[in-house]
Each structure stands twice: as structure tokens, then as C-alpha cells.
């Protein structure tokens, strides 16, 4: 396997754009600690919403889906899974809970990664997870005509255990080096994990769970309250493009980590912006419930559905939100598009 040298890669990545991202996120991190102490009750609602959105989004990226109603019930442990998709959704929920509750006690080691992967598939049967791949795999893209193109050839199966051990050793060493910023190191580690592609299935979901684990351990807990996985799912094309560009030449240590690093830092920065926006809406007691709904739609770039508004308004009933939407449509403040489950809303800029 290629040599991993995070020190040399780190120094090459200290570009003005990446430094601006790091500076912004560091500032937001400090402010979040203050908000978290002052607004603990309000944040408990955000935490539960983020768990649901993260579970849904990370699985949706891989084509694993269920209905919105069943998803919420699965995450809240009120129903049992009916099929393989729902079994995997339940597994992701459980691993996410483990990371949320015990991240300080989960070291980055090969046996721990195997245990997390085992738990990801624990509802699928005893032999579904917890083992490295037993056959070489490829990362391929399928074109509209059905043809496939191999985009990347990961580390072969026979080399995978030693590759993951090397990755973990180098990652722990780098993360313990106080002269390097862990926020910049984490995307490097995750890209290397994805290039190794250690499992027959579940590599993408494991990479997102490990991202949260390393962020929490490094003092960046924004993913507890704002779903980082949802942002990735909503910008999936950009995610895959950054991954494609940054993995090119990886086996020869000739790849450029910058596109993937910039993408991930952008996702994290966006999560912090969303965190403060949502907390301000929650704690602004002078704002009427209908005004909160209007503010969310007004500040949304593009369209937004009622279910997304409900997720952003813990403490406001769905009936109240529906009434607010009807009133805003009637007054011409917002525009209603589509119908039924495909209904969405946009702000009417011409009204201003």
C-alpha cells in the first residue's frame, strides 16, 4: 500500500482558502460551546431531529430508504424493521447513538472499526458485518445507458487488514500532534479510508460515522445538532466529484486532497451556520410561531417542503405549521408548488 505521511500532506494544504475555512470553524466552535450551555433544553430538540435526519440521509445516499413515517418510528424504536433496508437503517441508528453517547471511549483502531461495522449490520444476521472484504471490490459509476465505468480500484482484499492498521496508526499519531489541526486532518483520514474501501458493503456509511466520531473527539460536536449527513446527501453530486478528483493517483501518492478537504470543510462550516440560525429561531421568544415559519422560508435558498419546515421547528405542531403556510400562501408571502407529497414552497420576492 502507498505510504501515508500526514505531515507532508498537511503542509501542502495550508492554502489561503482552507485557512479561511479553519479560522471560521474555530470561531464558531467557541460560540457553540457558549450556546450549548445557555440553551440546553432547546438543543435537546435539535439533537433528536439531527439523529433522524442523519439516519435517513446517510442511508439515502446508498439507496436505502423507507417511508418518512416509518423512519421516524424506527429511529424512536417504536416498530421493528420489515425488510433489509429498514434493518440497515436500524443498524445505522444504533451505531450513531453509540458514537453520540460514548465517543470519548472509542479509539480509532481496526478492531473498533470492525465492531462498529458489525453493529451497523446487526439486524441483518450474524455474518453480515464485522469482517473486512473477502474479495477485491471496485468503485464504479453507471451511465444512463446501463454501462459501467470503473472509477477507482481500492486496496485489494488481501492487503486490507494491514492497510487499515497502518491508517489507524498514522491517524492517531497525527491527531495527537498538537502542531497540526485535527479539523484539517480528519478529511485526509476519511479519504484514505474510502480509498482502502475495507468492506464488501457499508463503506460510505462507515466513513460518515467515522467522520462524526473524529469530529466529536476533536471538539467539534456540531453534528450532534445539525445533520452533516443530510448536507452531504443534499449535495451528493459535489461530494462524489470531490471524492473522484481527490482519489485520482492515490495509489502512487500523487493525489490532490484539496477538493475533498475543501468540500468537507464547507459542509462543516455550513452546519455551524445552520446551528446558530436554528438556535436563534428556537430561543427568540418574541417571535410568533407563524413568524418563525415565515423566517425559515424567507431565508431558504430555493424550495422547501413542509416536512423540512417541521424538522426545523421543534415545539411547533404540524397543524400550526400547516395553518401558517396556508395564511402565508393566502397573503402572497410564499408560493406553493406541486401537490400532495410533492408540495413545496418558495418565498415570493416580488411581494417585498
Does the pLDDT of residue 290 top 80, yes or no? yes
Share of the chain above pLDDT 90, in %: 71
Helices 182-196/236-247 angle, 10° precision: 80
Q: Are residues 329 and 270 in the same domain?
A: no
Domain end (from 281, 298, 331)? 281
Is 145 domain-assigned?
Answer: yes
Residue-level pLDDT at 270: 93
Residue-level pLDDT at 142: 73
**Model confidence pLDDT, tens digit, residues 15-64:** 999 999 999 999 999 888 877 776 777 688 788 889 999 999 999 999 99
C-alpha cell at 126: 450474524
Q: Are residues 274 and 151 in the same domain?
A: yes
Side-chain half-sphere exposure of 229, counting CA atoms within 13 A: 29
Does the pLDDT of residue 237 top 70, yes or no? yes
**Model confidence pLDDT, tens digit, residues 162-216:** 999 999 999 999 999 999 999 999 999 999 999 999 999 999 999 999 999 999 9
Q: How far apart are CA 128 and CA 123, in angstroms?
A: 9
Is 62 domain-assigned?
Answer: yes
Does the pLDDT of residue 271 top 90, yes or no? yes
Side-chain half-sphere exposure of 230, counting CA atoms within 13 A: 19
**Model confidence pLDDT, tens digit, residues 128-174:** 899 999 999 998 877 777 777 788 999 999 999 999 999 999 999 99
Q: Are residues 220 and 323 in the same domain?
A: no
Is 30 domain-assigned?
Answer: yes
Residue 102's SS3 state is helix
**pLDDT bracket for residue 286 (50, 70, 90):** low
Q: Are residues 293 and 179 in the same domain?
A: no
Is 63 domain-assigned?
Answer: yes
Is 44 domain-assigned?
Answer: yes
Asked whether 113 and 210 are in contact (CB, 8 A), the reply is: yes
Q: What is the mean pLDDT of residues 78-102?
A: 95
C-alpha cell at 239: 461530494
Q: Are residues 226 and 313 in the same domain?
A: no
**pLDDT bracket for residue 285 (50, 70, 90):** low
Q: Are residues 218 and 345 in the same domain?
A: no
Residue-level pLDDT at 62: 94
Share of the chain above pLDDT 70, in %: 97
Q: What is the CATH number of the domain that holds 301?
A: 1.10.10.10
Residue-level pLDDT at 18: 96
Q: Are residues 276 and 295 in the same domain?
A: no
Asked whether 234 and 169 are in contact (CB, 8 A), the reply is: no
Q: Are residues 277 and 293 in the same domain?
A: no
Is 1 domain-assigned?
Answer: no
Q: Are residues 194 and 87 in the same domain?
A: yes
pTM: 0.86
Phi, psi of 334 (to 5 degrees): -130, 160
Domain end (from 260, 281, 302)? 281
DSSP assignment letter at 154: -
Residue ranges making up the domain that contains 224: 6-281
Beta strand segments in 64-146, E: 139-142
Q: What is the CATH number of the domain that holds 224?
A: 1.10.3290.10
**pLDDT bracket for residue 352 (50, 70, 90):** low
Q: Are residues 267 and 301 in the same domain?
A: no
Class of residue 107 by CB neighbours under 10 A (exposed 0-12, middle 13-18, buried 19+): exposed
Q: How far apart are CA 70 and CA 244, in angstroms?
A: 34
Q: What is the mean pLDDT of the chain?
A: 91
Query: How many independent structural domains does the chain possess?
Result: 2
**pLDDT bracket for residue 309 (50, 70, 90):** confident
Q: Are residues 77 and 214 in the same domain?
A: yes
Domain end (from 240, 263, 281)? 281
**Model confidence pLDDT, tens digit, residues 103-128:** 999 999 999 999 999 999 999 987 78
Q: Are residues 35 and 137 in the same domain?
A: yes
Residue-level pLDDT at 48: 87
Amino acid at each position: 500500500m502507498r505510504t501515508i505521511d500526514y505531515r507532508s500532506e498537511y503542509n501542502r494544504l495550508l492554502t489561503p482558502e482552507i485557512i479561511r475555512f479553519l479560522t471560521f470553524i474555530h470561531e464558531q466552535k467557541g460560540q457553540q460551546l457558549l450556546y450549548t450551555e445557555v440553551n440546553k433544553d432547546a438543543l435537546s430538540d435539535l439533537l433528536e431531529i439531527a439523529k433522524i435526519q442523519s439516519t435517513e440521509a446517510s442511508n439515502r445516499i446508498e439507496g436505502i430508504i423507507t417511508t418518512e413515517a416509518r423512519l421516524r418510528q424506527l429511529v424512536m424504536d417504536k416498530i421493528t424493521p420489515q425488510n433489509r433496508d429498514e434493518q440497515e437503517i436500524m443498524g445505522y441508528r444504533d451505531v450513531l447513538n453509540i458514537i453520540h453517547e460514548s465517543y470519548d471511549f472509542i479509539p480509532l483502531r481496526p478492531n473498533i472499526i470492525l465492531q462498529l461495522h458489525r453493529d451497523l449490520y446487526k439486524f441483518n444476521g450474524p455474518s453480515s458485518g464485522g469482517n473486512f472484504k473477502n474479495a477485491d471490490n471496485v468503485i464504479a459509476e453507471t451511465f444512463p445507458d446501463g454501462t459501467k465505468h470503473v472509477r477507482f480500484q481500492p486496496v485489494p482484499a488481501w492487503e486490507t487488514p494491514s492497510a487499515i492498521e497502518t491508517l489507524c496508526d498514522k491517524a492517531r499519531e497525527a491527531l495527537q500532534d498538537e502542531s497540526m489541526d485535527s479539523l484539517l486532518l480528519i478529511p485526509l483520514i476519511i479519504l484514505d479510508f474510502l480509498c482502502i474501501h475495507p468492506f464488501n458493503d457499508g463503506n460510505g456509511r462507515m466513513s460518515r460515522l467515522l467522520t462524526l466520531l473524529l469530529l466529536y473527539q476533536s471538539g467539534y460536536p456540531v453534528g450532534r445538532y445539525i445533520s452533516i449527513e443530510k448536507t452531504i446527501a443534499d449535495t451528493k453530486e459535489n461530494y462524489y466529484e470531490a471524492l473522484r478528483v481527490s482519489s485520482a493517483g492515490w495509489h502512487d501518492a500523487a493525489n490532490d486532497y484539496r477538493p475533498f478537504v475543501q468540500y468537507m470543510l464547507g459542509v462543516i462550516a455550513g452546519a455551524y451556520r445552520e446551528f446558530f440560525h436554528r438556535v436563534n429561531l428556537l430561543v427568540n421568544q418574541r417571535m410568533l410561531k407563524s413568524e418563525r415559519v415565515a423566517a425559515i422560508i424567507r431565508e431558504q435558498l430555493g424550495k422547501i417542503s413542509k416536512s423540512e419546515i417541521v424538522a426545523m421547528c421543534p415545539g411547533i405542531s404540524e397543524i400550526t405549521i400547516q395553518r401558517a403556510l396556508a395564511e402565508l400562501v393566502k397573503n402572497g408571502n410564499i408560493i406553493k408548488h406541486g401537490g400532495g407529497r410533492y408540495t413545496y414552497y418558495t418565498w415570493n420576492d416580488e411581494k417585498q
